[in-house]
Structures are given as structure tokens and as C-alpha cells.
Structure 1
Amino acid sequence: PNVAACLNNLAFLYYAQGRYDEAEPLYVQALEITKHRLGEKHLNVAACLNNLGLLYYAKGRYDEAEPLYVQALEITKHWLGEDHPDVATSLNNLAGFYNVQGRYDEAEPLYVQALEITKHRLGEDHPDVATSLNNLAGIYESQERYDEAEPLYVQALEITKHRLGEDHPDVAQSLNNLGFLYNSQGRCDEAEPLYVQALEMRKKLLGENHPDVAQSRNNLAALYQSMGRYDQAEPLYQQALEIAERTLGSNHPDTVNIRKNLESLRDIKR
């Protein structure tokens, strides 16, 4: 198990850096070792399944992520009961998969349940509560339930700043989420400073060559495009595409989306 832990730790480092292809074989090896040493239904196996599921999710391999999330949730519930923070994590992961597929009716109750568990077990002001708030707000936003999403995003941002400090990747994600909501509502002047701040923070904390930096550049570019500021949008799309192709590959859903955005902008400018 110590070897598996070392593999998981190194894989997580690569994952955090956006080096997904290097992380995958380590996570797979860690899962195999853990199953062999501890058995198929051990809690450490559930952790390994969640890790590998998150990686597949990040790589856009959603069909491979789902069974891992489901299995991890079943193991975690079996050993820890329904009302444990690790169960909330598994619920969040599975709901995220349903959300990205547009299966909102399946995702929402899982997100709500995860939020309730996290608040009850960890307190109202815990970073994991902020994560759950962000997740639930995201599904409301996907359904254009903006009035329900906004207070959750604001609350998540406040918790994250308070608990993790002003200069943390999770703060950048919260800024990005709120900016995206404002942009969706046409509140461009409110969205822009949030997007700019999120981008600068991510570049500083994660480096220029990270998928989250590509996401921030793409979002800011889309905002500028919607405002008719095409000359500012195009280089951001181009930079985002280069990062995404390098870190995620040409066929990843995020890469495909950025490429379409750039092509759309160039069509407008012709």
C-alpha cells in the first residue's frame, strides 16, 4: 500500500499540473496494487477509483469515469454510512458526470445531498461546502436558473477567500464561475474584472501551460467577442487553443469547443 500511496501522490501532482497523460498510468497502477493487497472492496480502493474517475473526467472520457464513480460511491457508503464527507465527495463526482451530460434531473438531488452532508459534518464555513455550493450553482446556471445560482456562487467565493486566502486556485475557480454567470446574463461589465482576475491568478499559481489557464483565456475571449471587441478576443482564443491542444489533446471536448469559438470569431471578422 505504501507504493500505491506514492504512486497516487505523484499522479496527483501531475494531475494538478494538467499533465494528464503522465498521471494516468500511475493512477491505474496504484488501483491495481491496492486491489491486490487490500481487496476489491477496501476504502483505499474507493479513493483510487475516485482519483482515476476524476482523471478520465478531466480528459473528457466520461463513459469510463461513470462506473468508477458509481463503484467508489457504493464502497464508501458500505464502510462509512450515508452521512460521511467522503460519501459527499463521491456524490459530487457522480453528479458532475451527470451534469456534463445534461442529465440535470439525476445530478441535482446528488448535489443537494452532498451539500447537506458537508454542511452537517464539516460546518457551514468549510472549503468543501464552497465546492458543493459551486457545483449546485453550476447546475442551476446550466438550466438558466440564474437567480438561484448567483447567491450560491457568491457564498462559495466568500467561503473560499475566507478559508483559503485571496490567492488560491479555488478562489480563481469561484471568480471564473461568477464571471461566467454574469456573462450568461449579459452583465459584461461585471463579468470582465472577475475573468481578468481569475486569469492572472491562474497564470501565477498554475503556470501558463495549464488547462485552467486555457479555460480562462477562452472565457475572457468569449466575453470580448460578445462585446464586439474582436481584436482582443482572437489572440486569447488562439493562446487557449494552443494550451488545450498541448495539454488535453486535439479531440478533447474543451479543445474542440475552443477551436469552434476561434473559427466562429474568424467567420465574423471576414
Structure 2
Amino acid sequence: LYYSQGRYSEAEPLYIQALALTRQLLGEEHPDVASSLNNLALLYYSQGRYSEAEPLYIQALALTRQLLGEEHPDVASSLNNLALLYYSQGRYSEAEPLYIQALALTRQLLGEEHPDVASSLNNLALLYYSQGRYSEAEPLYIQALALRRQLLGEEHPSVATSLNNLAVLYDSQDRYSETEPLYIQALALRRKLLGEEHPDVATSLNNLAYLYYSQGRYSEAEPLFIQALDIFERQLGVNHPNTVTTDNNLAYLRDRLD
């Protein structure tokens, strides 16, 4: 619950206690230990503490494979999580085969119409986007968005994520008229579902601000950058990559205004 609200400092000691207790009561070789390792790793990942997250993700994947076999949804989840970590570090060649395995396994085990398939499509699209492989990313993003709307309804955080990601892709191609309405929808949905103080709201504010900045709409961009930076600093700290990026964006904008 605390993790989902972006209250990471409150979540961490609870995750650590849960992991220790699970190990003590169930032993090292139990699926619940793998789940606890994964949860703690996800928290560290979300805080940009990648070097702490990686060994936990690797342990969780190995344990899940050992206990549940290769063909299990939890194996697909672990593959996806480790791939996301590698992706976030720019280790694209290590991330891609893991994402492809995760997508294939998820489709095989859960069928085409499952939220986890949408997540896998989204993640692989994000990797392609980051490599400039836009024509490969776009159809995957569109499939993921359609599937999430169909399965989860219009008002779900994952729909907001898909809207945002598709907007980022269009933004990178200077398709601004297609970008803006998607960013605005994503921001409104995140505010409604997650509250004003959530890091994802800050991400949406930053993205919309950067779009306005790119179009020379500086007076519209500046207050959004300021709001985003304030949320990131309070929720993630001043050294988190997202905070640093937004701080730099605001500095660039102010240089233009001087």
C-alpha cells in the first residue's frame, strides 16, 4: 500500500521485516521468499537504487525457476522485472531477450487477453522506443493501450501509463498535435486515481511541460516543471534520476527566459 502511494521510506522497513520473517518461518526455498525478494527489489528499483535491486531480482528469478519450473507466470514476472532494471540502466542488449521471453511465456500461459500481456507489450515497446526503433514500438504501444482499456476499463493507472508512453513516442517524432491530448488525459487520470503527490503525477507534469517547452510555450511549461520538481524532491529525494532530470529541464527553460 505504501509503495503504491509512493511512500517508499515507510514501505522499506515493512518489506525487510516481511522478507526476514518469511525466510525464518518457511526456509530459504519457498515461493513466498521469492515474492518478498521481488517486492523489496521493486522498491529499490523505484528509488533508483539499482545496484541494490539487481541481486534481489536475480535471486528471485532463480528461486522461482527452481521451485515453480520454467513455465509459470511468476517466472515471466521475474524475467520482466530484471529486464526493466537492465533497461533503466541502458543495458538494452541484456534487457531485450528477457522481455521477449517474458512476453512469449505470458501469452502461452495466460492467453492473448490478459493484463500481463499488455504490460509485456508495453515494456518491449519502451525498449524499442529507447533505441530509436519507433516503427517497432508504436504498434506494441497501441496494442497495449487497447488491451488495457478493454480489460481494465478507462479509469485505471495502467491506462494512464499507456497513454503517457504513446505520447512520449509521438513527442519524440515531433507529432505534437497527437502528443498533447494524450499527455493531458494521462495527467488527469493519474491525479484522479493516484492523488496529487504521486511520482507518476510528477512524471506527467514534467512530460507535458517539456512538450510546451519544445513548442516555445514557456509560460505554460514553467509552472508544470515547478510542480513536478516539488513532488519529485519530496517523494523521491533530490538525487533521484527523475528529480535531476526535471531540475535540469527547469534550468534550461529559465536560461531561455533570461
The interval holding the TM-score normalised by the smaller chain is over 0.9
Identity over aligned residues, as a percent? 66
Q: How many residues end up aligned between the 2 structures?
A: 258
TM-score (norm 2): 0.99
Q: 2:113 aligns with which of 125, 144, 149?
A: 125
Q: Cα deviations across residues 73-121 of structure 1 (Å, max 9, x unaligned)? A: 0000001111111000000000011101111110000000000000010
Q: Identify unmatched segments of 5+ residues in structure 1.
A: 1-12
Matched, 1:204 2:192: yes
Q: Please show how residues 40-119 of structure 1 align to structure 2 within 5 Å.
A: 40-119=28-107
**Residue 222 in 1 paired to residue 181 in 2?**
no
- Unmatched 5+ stretches in structure 2: none
Dislocated runs of 4+, deviation >6 Å: none
CA distance in 2, matches of 1:146, 1:85: 29
Indicate yes or no: 2:8 matched with 1:17: no
Q: Distance in 1 between matches of 2:213 and 2:160?
A: 22
Among 122, 133, 152, the residue aligned to 2:140:
152
**What is the CA RMSD across the aligned residues, in angstroms?**
0.5
CA–CA separation in structure 2 for the residues paired with 1:125 and 1:144: 28
> Structure 1-normalised TM-score?
0.95
Q: Aligned partners of 1:37 and 1:268: how far apart in 2?
A: 59
Q: Is the 8 A contact 2:29 2:67 kept in 1?
A: no
Q: Does 1:267 align with 2:238?
A: no
SS at match of 1:16: coil
Q: Which residue, 9, 24, 32 being the options, matches 1:36?
A: 24
Distance 2:184 2:247 in 1: 21
